[in-house]
Amino acid sequence: MSNPSSTVSLAVAILIAATSPAIAGDGAPPTPVTFSAEQDHQNMMNQLGIKALRPGPSGDEKAPNHANYDESLASPFANLPDPLTMDDGRKVVTAEMWTKERRPELIEAFSRYVYGRVPAVVPRVTWAVDAVDHEMIGFTPVIAKDLIGEVDNSGCPSIRVRIHMTLVTPANAKGPVPVLMMFGRAGFPAPREPSAEEFERINAAWKALLVQQDPTLKEVFATHPTWQPVKGTPFQFPQMNEDGDLPNTWQLVSAGWGFVLFDPASVQADDGAGITRGIIGLANRGQPRHPEDWGALRAWAWGASRGLDYLVNDPAVEAKHVGIEGVSRYGKAALVTMAFDQRFAMVLVGSSGKGGATLLRRNFGEAVESLTGGGYYWMAGNFMKYGASDATFGSMTPRDLTVDSNELIALCAPRLTFISYGIPEKGDAKWLDHRGSFMATVDAGRVFTLLGAKGLDIKGDYQTAKMPPVNEGHLGGELAWRQHDGGHTDAPNMKWFLQWANKFLARFP
């Protein structure tokens, strides 16, 4: 029987060896490392000197280690970091001071400790139109362009990254239109089908080929002269949103907007095992991350920014009126995108939870430990420190973070920022800590005010402000909040988002 300690030592030795750049002759790139998620997670713990992490809570309220849902226990840390206080204690009192000093300071902190850094040099992206289709979204004729962003992989040819997005704009628009980029699957939303005459030709050709393959089918076709092998898609009523409204894409184009379906998985896989592939792996030449390297949320945001690089040069798009949207983990990514890239004019953040709009310091539902455990690859490696119970540096908690989500939302100021949630009864779980996001939104409003915009029209600070009733929108300023009565989606808020955004965009033609 083998010695258990020897087995562990051997496993650690193999893991450490795997993190070293592979030796390649003749100047060839190193061989990409292939890790399981567990191996990659352990590798980062080794780099950080973490011996043990606190386990994350369970979302099952009946489990012994269930998440806290007692509001009286939700705020173990008294105060939030102040977005309007510099690290050296100086108060931020002017818009110029925010722009030139405090904003860069916060960007640096979020990059170092939370979401990770985009490398100084990232392979270039070359965009090409893969195909164009003239379609109908509801009763609106549109032009759909399927686009591929080929990332230069000359530094590591074994890793290929092809960013996929689809741009859809109203065909009858008299000029460029505002566009909402939405995280999710890309592809033609309503591919145009052949005409009746074209279907006749297709079917005649199919039957001729089938008879050539099997002459006995001639008799079958003669017996069933009206049957056709290829048929058009029968009309289907649209799948309505939870509130009974038309689908979001129908609402957008009927309002004169365009939209982009942007596939984040084409940029970076949504799992730890893929961290040495995708854009993160390509930039690292297939090697494991270092503690300050970017995680998947920042990679998805980087990809959206590369998509914006294309959009600002497309004549069908109003370059200064491009927004970003996402729900759940993609809601986190949408907020990160907006915070880091000031070219985006607006954001709709749906049900984002921890790592998004919800306060990291709150002990309610999803925890920091949830993001240092299963969701670790979304974040920078350094973020794991705040879930450490035993490490060479001792232990750390969210109290030790120098930033929080109130400051992430503040980084969006003074641009249009809409924080959206549903309700637990319909599936937008308590796990997401809706109140924690409301508190962060309230506090971020001070930065919007400093920059000449408006925060929420609610009395009190983040500790005393009363959370609004469901379906009561606070949409009077550039910072908006609305909790709808649907589930884990932002679809019931789309009509409110469009009304709100159009009101502000009309001021900036």
Instruction: Give 437-457 pLDDT, tens digit per residue.
Output: 999 999 999 999 999 999 999
- pLDDT at residue 22 is higher than 80: no
- For 452-481, how does the pLDDT look when each residue is reduced to its tens digit (9 = 90+)? 999 999 999 999 999 999 999 999 999 999
Show Cβ contacts of residue 412 under 8 Å, excluding neighbours closer than 6 positions: 335, 338, 339, 347, 444
By mean pLDDT, which of 22-26, 143-147, 148-152, 299-303 is the weakest? 22-26
Residue 306, Ramachandran bin (φ over 0: left; ψ between -120 and 50: alpha; else beta): alpha
Residue 316: what residue type?
A: A
* Residue 137 parent element (H or E): strand 125-137
Q: How many domains does the chain have?
A: 1
Residue 434 falls inside a structural domain? yes
Establish if 102 belongs to a structural domain.
yes
Flag whether pLDDT at 20 surpasses 90: no
How sure is the predictor about 79, in pLDDT bands with cuts at 50, 70 and 90?
Answer: confident
Q: Are 461 and 443 in contact (CB under 8 A)?
A: yes
- CATH number for position 369: 3.40.50.1820
Residue 106 in tokens: 């916060």
Q: Which residue has the tokens 């591929």?
A: 148
Cα–Cα distance between 71 and 65 in angstroms, integer?
17
pLDDT at 6 over 50: no
**pLDDT surpassing 70 at residue 15:** no
pLDDT confidence of 280, banded at 50, 70, 90? very high
- Please spell the DSSP secondary structure of 221-278, one letter per residue: HHHSTT--SS-PPPP------TTSPPPHHHHHHHTT-EEEEEEGGGTS-SSGGGTTSH
What is the per-residue pLDDT for 27? 66
Residue 234 lies in a domain: no
Is the pLDDT confidence value at 14 over 70?
no
First to last CA, the chain: 76
**CB 382, CB 292: distance < 8 Å:** yes
Q: Is the pLDDT of residue 1 over 50?
A: no
Helical segments of 224-353, H only: 248-254, 278-283, 296-311, 329-340
54 in a structural domain: no
Query: Predicted confidence band at 494 (pLDDT cuts at 50, 70, 90)?
Result: very high
pTM, 2 dp: 0.91
Rg (CA), the chain: 26
In a domain, 118, yes or no: yes
Q: How confident is the model at residue 162 (pLDDT cuts 50, 70, 90)?
A: very high
β 140-151/162-170 pair status: antiparallel
- 402 pLDDT exceeds 70? yes
* Residue 151 backbone class (left: φ over 0; alpha: ψ -120 to 50; beta: rest): beta
Q: Is residue 300 part of a domain?
A: yes
Per-residue pLDDT, averaged over 344-371, amounts to: 97
Asked whether residue 363 is domain-assigned, the answer is yes
Please indicate, yes or no, if residue 403 is contained in any of the structural domains: yes
Q: Which residues are bridge partners to 137 per DSSP? A: 140
202-236 confidence digits (pLDDT tens): 999 999 999 999 999 999 999 999 999 998 888 77
Domain that holds residue 314: 96-190+247-505
